[in-house]
Amino acid sequence: MALISCAECGQQISDKAAACPRCGSPASTSSNPIRDSVIQLEKALFDEVQKFSARIRELASFARRPSPPSAPPSPDIPDQIRKLAKLKDDGIISSEEFEAKKTELLGKL
């Protein structure tokens, strides 16, 4: 008894086996082991090319997606406090409103 490679999946099987126990492919009846090896290699390469192609398609799809919009720049907090102080000085907002908003803005620093 000798071991041969399954022409379909490449697993080593007995030369007496009627079919490969792994994939069920009928055992090769070919008397040309070089031809069988070439076929096996071509199938393995084809599978690798298919995987590689799928990965390229995945990366290309990812590259085509628009990037998420960046967050708008936050306004300068000290500048906002200065503007609030002017509104308070002009009597547009109360001192309590100014202090509450200033505290809120300073908490963001």
How many domains does one find in the chain? 2
| Residue 81 and residue 59 share a domain | no
Domain region containing 40: 3-64
Task: State the Cα torsion 55-58-60-63 to the nearest 10°.
Answer: -130
| Percent over 90 (pLDDT), the chain | 34
State the average pLDDT over residues 15-43.
78
| Predicted confidence (pLDDT) at residue 33 exceeds the cutoff of 60 | yes
pLDDT band at 51 (very low <50, low <70, confident <90, very high): very high
Q: Say whether both 54 and 24 belong to one domain.
A: yes
**Residues in a beta bridge with 12:** 5
Q: What are 59-109's pLDDT values in tens digits?
A: 998 888 887 776 665 668 888 999 999 999 999 999 999 999 999 888 877
Q: Is 50 inside a domain boundary? A: yes
In a domain, 94, yes or no: yes
Q: Are residues 59 and 100 in the same domain?
A: no
- Rg from Cα positions in the chain: 36
Structure token digits, residue 85: 């102080």
In a domain, 33, yes or no: yes
